Amino acid sequence: MTNSLYKSIRRACVLSVFLFAGAFSASIQAVTHPPGFWSLQIENDLWGSNDDRWYTSGWQLSYVSPKPPPEYLENISDHIPFYSKGKTVYHGFNLGQKVFTPENIEESSLIIDDRPYAGWLFFETFIGHRYDDFPDRDKMNGLILTIGIVGPDSHADDIQNFTHDLTDSDDAKGWDNQLENELGLNATFLQKSRRIYNLDEPRQTELSLHGGLTLGSIYSYASVGVMTRWGARLKDDIGPPSISPGFPGLPAFEPNRQSNWYLYAGLEARRVARNVFLDGNTNVDSHSVTKEDWVADLQFGIAVRSADARISFSITSRSKEFKGQPEGSHFGLINFTLFAE
């Protein structure tokens, strides 16, 4: 067995331990706290390109509450054009982190023609309303408010090098060149419309369209996309989440005694006006590269749900994000969601 293959296998084992440790922690939280959904999302290029480059990793812990949403979220959503409301309401919180590096992490000096080292530690609150448009068609509107920190205080360097120590991988040597500390604020509006076609019971197929607008100091972009799913009892579930930017989904589903499963594939295009991780810091001089105005994601995945738990895995291929990037990036996504009464 080659040394690189050994490191990859070892790293995969460690990340799997993190995933199931997080899932176990979410289970404990669900038992000891008010009822609701607990979800852990892990994204890593280990399951895609198998390299530490560009968007290399991310994680997100989510909670969806069954209680009525806070009044301030309802008030904000009342003032958004085209935001229709329904009887089914989701709201909750996300806590997460993302890690970005250039392609060559062995180089300690600044690599001017590759993306900056950067970390993003964030907290989000969100609200979503779902309503039936027709018996076989429904819509969902969502609002996400984000606050976070870019730079050394995100501790992305500590997390990456700690993981590399555990997996006996090479440390990234260029973190001294990362973006400076900067507070980030973002607001995102999402809308998704889907239609479900019945096949032989219980199998169904679904076609959905979605669009969104994100404005803020971290990201500013407009998005549009399409997704198709094929499986059983699709109405119980609109799909697993992604860490923004990405396909809209929910760390929640309709819990019942019947299990379901589905395969899914989607395409999303984004017109990007602002990406701090490529454009550099807002108010201080920092490393930057010239971003691509258009970025597209292609995603394939599978999800399986029992009565109160769902696990999903998918692969995302992302087009080039900046001028001079030799190729697009590829990363895997694993999500575990648990409902506790």
- Domains of the chain (ranges; CATH) run 3-340 (2.40.128.140)
Q: 244, 265 in Cβ contact below 8 A?
A: no
For residue 117 the two structure tokens come to 């080292």
Per-residue pLDDT tens over the stretch 94-149: 999 999 999 999 999 999 999 999 999 999 999 999 988 777 788 999 999 999 99
Q: Whose structure tokens read 């999800």?
A: 303
Q: Report H helices in 217-287.
A: 276-279
Is pLDDT above 60 for 19?
no
Position 85 scores a pLDDT of: 87
How many CB atoms are located within 10 Å of the residue 162 CB? 12
Total residues found in the chain within this entry: 341
How far is it, in rounded angstroms, from Cα 189 to Cα 201?
A: 35
20 Cβ contact list (under 8 Å, min separation 6):
none
Q: Which two tokens stand for residue 260?
A: 């379901």
Check: CB of residue 240 under 8 Å from CB of residue 216. no
Percentage of the chain surpassing pLDDT 90?
A: 68
Tell me how far the alpha carbon of residue 287 is from its chain's centroid. Answer: 25
For residues 98 and 59, give the distance between their C-alpha atoms in angstroms, rounded to a whole number. Answer: 7
Query: Which distant-in-sequence residues (6+ apart) come within 8 Å of 271 by Cβ?
Result: 221, 222, 223, 293, 294
| pLDDT tens digits, one per residue of 150-193 | 999 999 999 888 887 777 777 889 999 999 999 999 999 999 99
Query: Is the distance from CB of 112 to CB of 287 less than 8 angstroms?
Result: yes
State whether residue 45 is helix, strand or coil. helix
Measured between its terminal Cα atoms, the distance across the chain in Å is: 47
pLDDT in tens, 63-73: 999 889 999 99
Hey, what are 258's tokens?
A: 């019947």
Rg (Cα) of the chain, in Å, rounded?
A: 20
Distances, alpha carbon 276 to alpha carbons 35, 164, 216, 224, in Å: 37, 26, 10, 21
Q: How confident is the model at residue 22 (pLDDT cuts 50, 70, 90)?
A: very low
Report how far residue 118's alpha carbon sits from residue 106's, in angstroms, rounded to the nearest whole number: 16
pLDDT at residue 7 tops 50: no
For the stretch 206-241, what's the b/e string if a residue is b when 16 or more beta carbons lie within 10 angstroms of its beta carbon? bebebbbebbbbbbbbebebebebbbbbbebbbbbb
Quick one: DSSP state of residue 176? G
pLDDT for position 304? 95
Judged against a pLDDT cut of 80, whether residue 268 lies above it is answered with yes
Alpha helix ranges (H) inside the chain: 3-32, 71-78, 156-166, 276-279
Task: For residues 270-287, give the mean pLDDT.
Answer: 96
CA-closest candidate to residue 52, choices 113, 118, 9, 99: 99
pLDDT band, residue 49 (cuts 50/70/90): low
Torsion angle, CA of 160/165/167/170, rounded to 10 degrees? 80
Residue 218 has phi, psi (to 5 degrees) of: -95, -60
